[in-house]
Structure 1
Amino acid sequence: MKQIMGSTDESIDKLNEYEVGQKIHDFLLQTKCLVVLDDVWETDTWEQLNRSIRAFPDAANGSRILLTTRKDIANHVQIPTHVHPLKKLDEEKSWELLSSKALPSYKRSVIHDVDEFEKLGRKLAKKCDGLPLALALLGGYLSKHLNAREWSDILLDWPSTRNGQMVQNIVGRSYKDLPNHYLRSCFLYIASYPKDYIIDVPRLIELWIAEGFIPKIPNHKLEETAEMYVAELAQRSLVEVIERSRAHGCIDIINIHDILHDWCAKEARRDGFLDVKNETTGQVGEPASSNNLVSYRSSFQSLSNEILPGTTNIRTLLGFELQSASVPKLRLLRVLSIEKSTLKDFCTVISGCIHLRYLRLGNCGGVVLPSSIGQLLYLQTIDLRDSYLESQVPKSLWDIPSLRNVYLDDGFSPPPPPAKSVRLNHKELQTLFLGISHVGTKLCFHDMVIFLGQMNQLTTLFLMIFPMPTEAFSLFANMPHLVDITLGQLGVLYKLPHEFPQSVRRLVLYADVIRQDPMPILEKLPCLVVLKLEGYEGKTMSCSAQGFPQLQELELHRFSVEEWRTEEGTMSKLFILTLWKCEKMIKVCEELLDLSYLSHVTLAKVPYF
């Protein structure tokens, strides 16, 4: 109803199903529209929408309803319907997809008898009956087993099953083939997210680490090992890559196919690994039986009732879009992640969770942190971005020695402890995200610099203060490992400092005004891949030969330069250029637009020239 009518009235949440259906019906009766319902998997869904409630009127006004579903459900809809069946891949297209996964070019070069693999591969592709998901999964599995004998054995043992079961069999084979139980746990854990959820990989990695799924490997950070796990799942087509980080070269956003999600949910419950509950399907997985193990992890999704975990010994609790989340006292809780929900009595509950390692509250209301939060001595990640906090974050948070990632946003970041009494021992702290709406008498920025300057293991620093003193640049002197820097909102910046960490790969600087050309300083950063700048008001901007040797993405906001001078050889790897609201940028040098790698140019609010 909110999507169709564009309403944000909170009273909608109090309507029952019949009232919602009636209001949608009355609205659509007067409106010519196209309504798209994606992933209608059950006949009961349509029955509930348009027989029991009749949300969609039969009005001859040109309106249309588009369903994406299975053929048997499409034929079940009792209104004039046009069914458009999706075509399966033909044999040649099937082989192209399978071979792209199983025999990529870099592997073909080391195979002696490619013809034998192609002969077997074409037969296996034909067995997949033109189903892209089956082909991609099988290709991912075969890529790990470049042995003609094994390909032949798979062909001989191919089961005679229907399409749906065929995919399930391939998923099961791929799952068992994962190299260790850590990676199998990481894969099953994805079922804790709702279907079609766009998964932020850095956040997922933080969860995996808190759960203990990432083993310690000599000379590797836990995050690096976790990134390799994500890449392994993607290579096997068990997850789909949505976006990669240009700055860091790793996978940034993923999702998982519904069929794989269902498989993970069933397997996770069967193993006592995870329970998933939502309002539509109840408890996902097979019916409970006497041999089911008790799960110590629960995921609650889109529920209107209060959270009631099945056991007080639960270790992990995840919640998504919960109308009312009343979390009981859970003394053994290690992971708590709730988003788009309203919390009750949260303060009294969280103080007793002394084993907590991960705390995320995203877009939540009713958030109050206890003053005793500093006693959560195992806490690794705290993420309160986009949540409304009813009080400041207690100073005791900074006493926790195990912190790895801190995200505090929306102006409720705490002032640092007084400089003389700082007792920081944050050898583990790698990510610091602070959003402070204003610097007033309660927050002395000089103390903030002293406070932050002791965090010398940081790799990511996001500092958004209104206004941001230029004194912030002095932080870099004691942060040699920084890879990702965001600073804003700077006022008048007369010139950039020379002391940027040489390891920085992504740099974002937002300023009201930058007086001096920033390029001569920034072009010397050897690892810089992504650069975003705002506010330069000089007449000219210059980039020298061999400048920005690794830069791939450049975004400039509110640059008033009249001429951009570049020497041959500068920005030799630039791939994306964005100019936003650069009204006075009359001349963009032709050499820059002729760069061989430049593929995407976006001009927003830039005069035609």
Structure 2
Amino acid sequence: MAKSVVSAVLSNVSTLAVQETTLLCGVTREVEFLKDDLNSLQGFLRDADNKQRMGDSGVSILVSQIRDAAYEADNVIEAVEYMHRRNRLKKGFMGAISRYARLPTDLSTLHKVGFEIKRIRRKISEIFERANRLKIVLDLSHTSIEKIDVDDELQQDYGPIHQKFEDVVMVGFEDEYKEIVGKLVDTKKSLGAISIVAMGGAGKITLARKVYTSSRVKQHFGTIAWVTVSQKYKGIDLLKDIMKQIMGDTDESTSKLSEHEVGQKIHDFLLQTRYLVVLDDVWETDTWEQLNRKVKAFPDATNGSRVLLTTRKEDVANHVQMATYIHHLKKLDEKKSWEIFSSKALPPYKMSVICDVDEFEKLGRKLAKKCDGLPLALAVLGGYLSKNLNVEAWSNILLDWPSTKDGQMMRVILARSYKDLPNHYLRSCFLYFAGFPEDYIISVSDLIELWIGESFIPHIRNHQLEETAHKYVKELAQRSLVQVVGVSTVHGRIEAIRIHDILHDWCIEEAKQDGFLCAIDKTAGHAYTPSSDNIISYRYQFQTLSGDILTTTPNARSLLGFDATVSLPELRFLRVLCIEESKLQDFSSLIGGCIHLRLLRLKNCGPITLPSSIGNLLYLQTIDVRDTPLLGHVPKSLWGISTLRHVYLHGAWFSPPPPTSSVRRQQKELQTIDLNLGNVITNFHNHDMVVFFSQMNQLTNFSLSKNHIPKELICIFANMPHLVDIYLSKFGVLDNFPTEFPQSLRRLVLCANVIIEDPMPSLEKLPCLVVLELRGYNGETMSCCVEGFPRLQELKLVDFLTAEWRMEDGAMPKLFHLTLQECEKLRKLPEGLLHLPSLSHLELGAMPQISEEDITLKGLWRKGCMVRTHATSV
């Protein structure tokens, strides 16, 4: 497994050494020698990995030393490449001198680099000697830079890969689901608890989630909340989380409340409503008492409120001080086990290409039985075997099946599936889940930006990095190593995932053992530390820290933080800084010195200032400060960074460089612009804004929220051929609707006070449009022609003054979800809706003029369309 941690770094360094040799002047030969040494080190990794798995501690130290040398080489070579990039940006006389000659400071840097490379090579020589003493064999067949072809390495499965894990596991729990929902919504008035008890991997959390999200439960309870307790928790943190969920209170003052004050607020709020609170993964018998120790946070208002617990321990379920129904979740029988296993290992779309189906089924049934009715084991093993469809492989697994208890069996299955991942890049991507909190719902787009920032995604000819990364997510989902939470209607891709807590624990342990990542959590009163003092971690995850000075090694490359207040140390080699729900001290004074930084993400953090030194970050790919107040202006120097791929700025004082500046020509990589300016006053003219954005012709995603967007902006998109997603809110008056939008467009959200022209004639011609949301059309009539909107699936119309909506037969053939909100003049639904073959959901918000006697509405009901009406806005 060491190769998965180390080899990506070595490939990166080797590639960089080749590409940038010409920049290093007098140290060119040293760089070439270093490259050869690094390639030779790759030859030791395969044998070292095997010996390390056999428990040889000396080999573990050696692998750590190889990784350290690779990172040091990466840092020193990139420092010189940074010098070259910086000099190219200099203007005037000094710029010319630095581009065509060597300034004294540059010569000094090159001298230091030469010295550092010699030091690293001496270190590598010592590694060679140690490897020889340990009798590690040099495998010369694996010393070249690895070439990855994602289409060859990742098998192309064309089946329903986006099936949610909950839907797979629920194959065996339909009766339990109905029983638990029935207990929650029964007529008993006193506060009661339902506890689901089962061992890890048995499906109790999946079942609880299915119950929690059911429409019957949501309609029955006025307020619902879910918190994960786990083995390490603080009562006040759980209570604050519950308070945020039920009251929507995200005010900064919340963090200053005492446990008594939080408990009292929850009590007073819940006293007025019927509520359901889920306490997931409870380990300690006194958890309920701890949550209610200062004040009875969860009152019994004799209105049928409920508490739902999941736990591995029956004594925990018995200890809750209220009427409790304990549901022991049974293991799946052989029939249900086979259904889950076969759905993953032998899905219907693969059966046609399998020659000896009967033999696979015979072996598969035996393997499914070995999983002892545990859904997680069935899904992960099935996902692994779906990638190894040969009888010999299945037979060998059956013969080698571990004669161990359930926990160890699951670890063996996970280790086997992890080892089977096609390349070291994907193994690093999987281990990276150790950096997220337990039960955390992970945005796939955010995750991919992190992976790219970490250099886990290889550069492949004719493939965008993001495209390759999405295939990696798909691969992990097919193997059931991640659970699919949400799928994008717009892109048809997985957009949200989570990782099962058993797999999460395995990732943390594996990452700790390899020195891949160190997790620091003060909730538990301790930190996860590397397995040996000789093994240095280069990535750190921290959470629930307060007022601490973060302690890391000075060579740390990544920091991921959640729910903390910390002071950052000086981190010269930082590549990734991803902080959420936290406050950072000394941020502005330190960030400009992190010249290697690829990703800067501060989500929902305390107020920060982006210093002008942000322009020093010449490798920056992603800057994401969504929901984080920015003090002062966004520095213009930001737009001079040529490597920017994704920019998310919310609540910022934004002023782009002047239209005549050459800075705009730097943005060749920029794919995403997401600006939420709200009511912030910008100090530039509308013309400057239009010119600035119109230069970004490589964009795939454009989002702008501000009052009074200039109407001229709507015309710039015709020259952006790669645009997939446009979000605009909001215009004042749009009097001329453009006739041309990018043919690639898949989602359009456009809000205005007034739209004069009927937008449908131009939009219905877009061949790829899947989601459309419009607000503010002022015309009396609206028309949708035959064959219009060929791929549209979701349509939302808000504040339309349309009295007549004409819809020809054959329009919108794939529309399945329609929302009409505050369309006050529309007295009846168009009869054309009855001819839409796919329409299955209709939502009407604040439209009292559409009565239940509406002919079209009644026809939709008869066709089985689900209709929801709201007295207020949807």
Q: Which deviates more, 98-107 or 438-447?
A: 438-447
Aligned to 1:479: 720
The answer (yes or no) to whether the contact 2:264–2:296 under 8 Å persists in 1 is no
Q: CA deviation at 1:345?
A: 1.8
For the structure 1 residues 65 and 489, does the alpha-carbon distance in structure 2 shift closer, same or farther, using more than 3 Å as the test?
Answer: closer
Q: CA deviation at 1:536?
A: 1.2
TM-score by length of 1: 0.92
For the structure 1 residues 325 and 240, does the alpha-carbon distance in structure 2 shift closer, same or farther, using more than 3 Å as the test?
Answer: same
For the structure 1 residues 75 and 570, does the alpha-carbon distance in structure 2 shift closer, same or farther, using more than 3 Å as the test?
Answer: closer
Q: CA deviation at 1:44?
A: 6.9
Structure 1: distance between partners of 2:613 and 2:429 = 32
Q: Is 1:141 the equivalent of 2:353?
A: no
Structure 2: distance between partners of 1:248 and 1:78 = 45
Structure 2: distance between partners of 1:90 and 1:284 = 40
Residue 212 of structure 1, aligned match among 455, 479, 504: 455
Aligned to 1:293: 535
For the structure 1 residues 601 and 396, does the alpha-carbon distance in structure 2 shift closer, same or farther, using more than 3 Å as the test?
Answer: same
Aligned to 1:94: 337
Q: Is 1:261 the equivalent of 2:468?
A: no
Mapping of 1:15-34 within 5 angstroms?
Answer: none
Q: CA deviation at 1:604?
A: 1.7
For the structure 1 residues 283 and 174, does the alpha-carbon distance in structure 2 shift closer, same or farther, using more than 3 Å as the test?
Answer: farther
Q: Which deviates more, 188-197 or 83-92?
A: 83-92
Aligned to 2:663: 423
Structure 1: distance between partners of 2:422 and 2:507 = 17
Aligned to 1:454: 695
Aligned to 1:407: 648
Mapping of 1:524-563 within 5 angstroms?
Answer: 524-563=765-804
The answer (yes or no) to whether the contact 1:34–1:66 under 8 Å persists in 2 is no
- C-alpha root-mean-square deviation of aligned residues, in Å? 2.7
Superimposed CA distance per residue, residues 194-219 of structure 1 (whole angstroms, 9 cap, x where no aligned partner): 11111111111011001000001111
Q: Is 1:84 the equivalent of 2:324?
A: no
Aligned to 2:80: none
Superimposed CA distance per residue, residues 321-377 of structure 1 (whole angstroms, 9 cap, x where no aligned partner): 11x221111111111111111221211011111111100111111301111211111
Q: Is 1:311 the equivalent of 2:553?
A: yes
Q: Is 1:496 the equivalent of 2:730?
A: no
Aligned to 1:436: 677
The answer (yes or no) to whether the contact 1:564–1:587 under 8 Å persists in 2 is no
Superimposed CA distance per residue, residues 240-295 of structure 1 (whole angstroms, 9 cap, x where no aligned partner): 1111111112111111111111111111111111111222335565x654376211
Q: CA deviation at 1:494?
A: 2.0
Aligned to 1:177: 420
Aligned to 1:189: 432
Superimposed CA distance per residue, residues 65-108 of structure 1 (whole angstroms, 9 cap, x where no aligned partner): 43211134535637465422112222111111111111111101
Aligned to 1:384: 625
Structure 1: distance between partners of 2:266 and 2:784 = 61
For 2:777, give the aligned amino acid: Y
Structure 1: distance between partners of 2:547 and 2:645 = 33
Instruction: Provide the secondary structure at the position in 2 that maps to 1:185.
Output: helix
For 2:832, give the aligned amino acid: E
Residue 344 of structure 1, aligned match among 582, 585, 590: 585
Mapping of 1:218-257 within 5 angstroms?
Answer: 218-257=461-500
Instruction: Provide the secondary structure at the position in 1 that maps to 2:326.
Output: coil
The answer (yes or no) to whether the contact 1:24–1:55 under 8 Å persists in 2 is no
Structure 1: distance between partners of 2:722 and 2:282 = 49
Structure 2: distance between partners of 1:197 and 1:328 = 27
For the structure 1 residues 584 and 307, does the alpha-carbon distance in structure 2 shift closer, same or farther, using more than 3 Å as the test?
Answer: farther
Residue 520 of structure 1, aligned match among 750, 761, 767: 761
Q: CA deviation at 1:48?
A: 7.5
Q: CA deviation at 1:449?
A: 1.3
Instruction: Provide the secondary structure at the position in 2 that maps to 1:40.
Output: strand
For the structure 1 residues 601 and 21, does the alpha-carbon distance in structure 2 shift closer, same or farther, using more than 3 Å as the test?
Answer: closer
- Say which one has the larger Rg: 2
For the structure 1 residues 418 and 9, does the alpha-carbon distance in structure 2 shift closer, same or farther, using more than 3 Å as the test?
Answer: closer
For 1:420, give the aligned amino acid: T
Structure 1: distance between partners of 2:635 and 2:297 = 54
Structure 2: distance between partners of 1:546 and 1:37 = 48
For 2:843, give the aligned amino acid: T
Instruction: Provide the secondary structure at the position in 1 that maps to 2:740.
Output: coil
The answer (yes or no) to whether the contact 1:42–1:73 under 8 Å persists in 2 is no
Instruction: Provide the secondary structure at the position in 1 that maps to 2:310.
Output: strand
TM-score by length of 2: 0.65
For the structure 1 residues 98 and 307, does the alpha-carbon distance in structure 2 shift closer, same or farther, using more than 3 Å as the test?
Answer: farther
For the structure 1 residues 472 and 557, does the alpha-carbon distance in structure 2 shift closer, same or farther, using more than 3 Å as the test?
Answer: same
Aligned to 1:156: 399
The answer (yes or no) to whether the contact 1:401–1:427 under 8 Å persists in 2 is yes
Structure 2: distance between partners of 1:29 and 1:464 = 35
Q: CA deviation at 1:22?
A: 7.9
For the structure 1 residues 528 and 317, does the alpha-carbon distance in structure 2 shift closer, same or farther, using more than 3 Å as the test?
Answer: same
The answer (yes or no) to whether the contact 2:530–2:537 under 8 Å persists in 1 is no
Q: Which deviates more, 535-544 or 35-44?
A: 35-44
The answer (yes or no) to whether the contact 2:512–2:531 under 8 Å persists in 1 is no
The answer (yes or no) to whether the contact 1:401–1:426 under 8 Å persists in 2 is yes
Instruction: Provide the secondary structure at the position in 2 that maps to 1:374.
Output: helix
Identity %: 58
Q: CA deviation at 1:386?
A: 0.7
Q: Is 1:586 the equivalent of 2:827?
A: yes
Q: Which deviates more, 481-490 or 275-284?
A: 275-284
- Structure with the bigger RCO (C-alpha within 8 Å, sep 6+) is 2
Q: Which deviates more, 195-204 or 598-607?
A: 598-607
Aligned to 2:839: 598
For 2:363, give the aligned amino acid: L
Q: CA deviation at 1:60?
A: 8.1
For the structure 1 residues 275 and 541, does the alpha-carbon distance in structure 2 shift closer, same or farther, using more than 3 Å as the test?
Answer: same
Q: CA deviation at 1:601?
A: 1.9
Q: CA deviation at 1:443?
A: 1.6
For 1:224, give the aligned amino acid: E
For the structure 1 residues 601 and 58, does the alpha-carbon distance in structure 2 shift closer, same or farther, using more than 3 Å as the test?
Answer: closer
Q: CA deviation at 1:21?
A: 9.1
Instruction: Provide the secondary structure at the position in 2 that maps to 1:228.
Output: helix
Structure 2: distance between partners of 1:599 and 1:29 = 35
The answer (yes or no) to whether the contact 1:536–1:560 under 8 Å persists in 2 is yes
The answer (yes or no) to whether the contact 1:243–1:251 under 8 Å persists in 2 is yes
Superimposed CA distance per residue, residues 383-412 of structure 1 (whole angstroms, 9 cap, x where no aligned partner): 1111011211111111111111111112x1
Mapping of 1:97-116 within 5 angstroms?
Answer: 97-116=340-359
For 1:560, give the aligned amino acid: L
The answer for unaligned runs of 5 or more in structure 1 is: none
Superimposed CA distance per residue, residues 104-152 of structure 1 (whole angstroms, 9 cap, x where no aligned partner): 1110111122122122212211111211111111111111111122212
Structure 2: distance between partners of 1:463 and 1:28 = 36
Structure 2: distance between partners of 1:29 and 1:222 = 48
Structure 1: distance between partners of 2:752 and 2:597 = 38
The answer (yes or no) to whether the contact 1:358–1:381 under 8 Å persists in 2 is yes
Alignment length (residue pairs): 604
Structure 1: distance between partners of 2:676 and 2:298 = 50
For the structure 1 residues 60 and 485, does the alpha-carbon distance in structure 2 shift closer, same or farther, using more than 3 Å as the test?
Answer: closer
The answer for unaligned runs of 5 or more in structure 2 is: 1-238, 855-874
Superimposed CA distance per residue, residues 453-505 of structure 1 (whole angstroms, 9 cap, x where no aligned partner): 11111111111221111110232243221111111201121231012111111
Q: Is 1:123 the equivalent of 2:363?
A: no
Superimposed CA distance per residue, residues 414-457 of structure 1 (whole angstroms, 9 cap, x where no aligned partner): 21112223422111111111122358572211011111111111
Q: Is 1:274 the equivalent of 2:517?
A: yes
